[in-house]
Structure 1
Amino acid sequence: MNYDPIKAMQTDHPDEGRLRISVLSSIRNTPIENATIDITYTGDPSSVIEELKTDANGQTPEITLPAPPLEYSMEPSEYQPYAEYTFRIKAQGFEPLDISGAEILPEVTALQTARLQAQTPQNTFQNIVIPAHTLFGIYPEKIPEDEIKPMDESGEIVLSRVVVPEFVVVHDGAPTDPTAENFYVRYRDYIKNVASSEIYATWPIETIRANVLAIMSFTLNRVYTEWYRNKGYDFTITSSTAFDHKWMNGRNIFDSISLVVDELFSNYLSRPGVRQPILTQYCDGQRVTCPNWMTQWGSKYLGDQGYTAIEILRNFYGDNMYINTAEEISGIPISWPGYNLDIGASGDKVEQLQEQLNAIRQGYPALPAVTVDGIYGEGTQRAVRDFQRIFNLPVTGIVDYPTWYKIQEIYVGVTRIAELV
């Protein structure tokens, strides 16, 4: 039985989830100001329940929306644990976009990014339909594979070291489906999308960490072994649950998952004496059983009991599973300084940070200009706070590991755009 948001609105105290939408240009990935978003229930598209506008950063204010009871996402249930909403997005000079089936869970914030295409004489209309969550819908079972791939096959190409890629190429279907479209997706965005599609963001934080680590390790195994390219395909990974993870084009992600990915994105799982990331396969553990693999519901129950992420992972994959760190992060010009930057910090790393924040203003003009003097003062702190707010990071004004690499990522994107203009 599906959750009925209209009935929930009629109750005195419906559970609520939060929503924030960012609207960007698909060509330059820059914010679109004054875009209009009409929000409706997916089951009742004629009744607009909210109308929002984006600010100079392309963002709407955070709003609350009715959601099913929290307990629906805490145990396997016949009741749909999330409410579904439709967003109709319009902006002058751009084609309109509908996103249907966006998920709102209780007590967490859904983050929806919408990329609009420039208007054309044909007046095309975009419509993205988000399919059911993998824990609620029916999807093919994972076809078992060896968790460690042989490296001695003649002609096989593998990377010389574990590298976090800047992008992965996602084939949106089974590997042999020539009609499926390929999408270029930033690695972190890909992991956030998959995790939001495979587990519930309401689960314990250590359960989320364990599942994110498993998803990243599996993905980096595909990258490291060039698995599909060695088979003659032109993509990194697929969206088919029979072969890989479920990735959903255009879906919303959740803040609790996004923060964990930003914290852990350079990590993967390894075993002693094995160079490659482990192909960490898993299943839900309810409709499908998978001995010696992690089960998603099982990981949730261990998180409820206070297990840490590595304890959860070792419970399923064995005691010789370890968390490792990639040797390189592709596309990042200079690495993390090794310490947080805050008021009073100075030197080359602060100067680099200030230059990059000023460059990012090309795409995000609402960011304040920063004096490039190598001294982390109040002006730099203010710009960092605004940056963190725009990109859904904890607003501390301190450049920690996740903030540093997000600044690098956005800087690379903005400066590449400038080179093309």
Structure 2
Amino acid sequence: MTSDITITPHSPGIADVPGFHCAGVACDVRCNDDSRLDLALVYSKTPCTAAGVFTTNDIKAAPVVLDQELLAGGGDFHGIVINSGNANACTGTQGMADARAMLEKAEAVCGAPEKSFFVCSTGRIGRVLPMENVLRGIDEAATVLDDSAAQSKAAAEAILTSDTRSKTVTAQFDWEGETITVAGMAKGAGMIEPNMATMLAFIATDAKVSHALLSASLKSANTTSFNAITVDGDMSTNDTVLFLANGESGVEITSQNAELAELFIEAVKAVCKDLALKIAGDGERITKLVQVIVEGAKDVSSAEKVARAIGNSLLVKTSWYGSDPNWGRLLDAAGYARVGIIEEKIDLAYVPGIPMSGAFEGSVPALTQGQPQDDNLSQWKEIVSEKEFTIHLNLNLGSEKFTLYSTDLSEGYVDFNKSE
């Protein structure tokens, strides 16, 4: 089924979707006389259905609270306004007032109805937004708003904080003579432990999709993408993924047409997975991307707990940075997940690269039924010296699995984050 979907990994982004316009401008949100792009606008004149997933942190930024209210209220939506450089989190009543002011300004400059725009912010926590700059930026964004690749790329750049590169992707497939497009952009490099991290992702499609199906598609894709990455184990106050569908293609996705629905969901998953891996791969000062596959668990929850224990272990992550195949640390982390694993049943292997299928070519065992395979030491070392590799852990206790994408932890991460 995925073979019927064309993926463009470094596309212009959301403006690839017919009917969507974008803009990215500089308005000095950081208040340092910087010309860096820091405000983005996404707009569809055609009304959209919408879905979203958000941080589960008890402390939620004002835009998150506002967006959840808007989604709960239902209705049609037309766009999103996003600023970087300031999270508008932990800013009290002023923060909520500022988020609403951004919403109202975006609606006014685009001629959109009330409560039809979402608001997102990312950046430093605890600082009030410089609203004069932000509102001026929204005005300017409206004057350059269009469906060009240039403005789509500018929008993707404007949402970045500590990222080193923009993150965009487009997926397309044909159905009965029509082309369906799903495209997205994201940001995120640090404070990444989505459930959801300082990560934002925005996805758009020209398919006609009900809120219920759009929401189900996003939640399904989110489980194996944005909620399956970790850089540093820190959950943000601002994590948001928003999905807009404007129906411009005229093709309606319904659960009654199972084949079409499956194609659409696979396209959404492909977009989310691509963006999630780009976030993990751009972790702050990381040098390695590591896929942690835990299978043979009695249930998915157990597999996830083991994977997260390994992927968030500071000892494990620093050994990866040092290209040290210290599988003892992996096993220790798996054990303190406390899901009832049995040492004598465990198979553990190092695998080159990030294979996306069940084929683990070049897999080198470290443990077989709990017994160390020490003769393979030089091969383990070679694999973990690469920029991308996989840890394959089989608990041999059941049939469930979970895949997590993690990173190493470097001196550069500490140096970068020791002061804002």
- TM-score normalised by the shorter chain: which range applies? under 0.3
Larger proportion of strand: 2
Higher helix share: 2
TM-score for both structures, normalised by structure 2:
0.27
Structure having greater relative contact order (Cα 8 Å, sep ≥ 6):
2
User: What's the TM-score once normalised by structure 1's chain length?
Assistant: 0.27
